[in-house]
Amino acid sequence: MHDYEQQGPAVGLAEPAAVRLVDATALGVYAYDTYDVMGADDPVRVLIAARSTRHAVHWVRRAGFPVHRWTPRLAQVPTDEATRSLAVPGVVIWRNHDPDLSEQWFYLPH
């Protein structure tokens, strides 16, 4: 699998202006901007702390989020999101344009 990295969101998620970004790749956090298959194709960001790209993609897909080989991996993510994804291994967090759903976490199946 090719590992593509980009600086901005792939699906139009807005970043607040005052957000501090961290290097996700240095922390072992894998982040993708993709779409929610459970809703009406809402844009979402999924993050997971994993050993490798392959491991991360496997768990993100098992959680029900579409990640393909052409889905770019984010190189930088907000500090708060990275911290949360590192705090509980095996968890995907996501956020989208709906403030009521932006703090929802999805625990991955084992």
Q: What is the pLDDT of residues 19-73, one digit of tens each?
A: 789 999 899 999 998 887 766 677 888 889 888 999 999 988 888 888 888 888 9
Q: Residue 55 — φ and ψ, nearest 5°?
A: -65, -45
- Is residue 84 in some structural domain? yes
Tell me if 1 is assigned to some domain: no
In a domain, 11, yes or no: no
For residue 7, count other CB atoms closer than 10 A to its CB. 9
Is residue 103 assigned to a domain?
yes
**How many domains does the chain contain in total?**
1
Q: Is residue 6 part of a domain?
A: no
| Residue 90 within a domain | yes
Query: Residues 82-102: pLDDT tens digits?
Result: 888 888 777 888 877 667 776
Residue 48 lies in a domain: yes
Q: Give the domain extent around 101.
A: 19-107
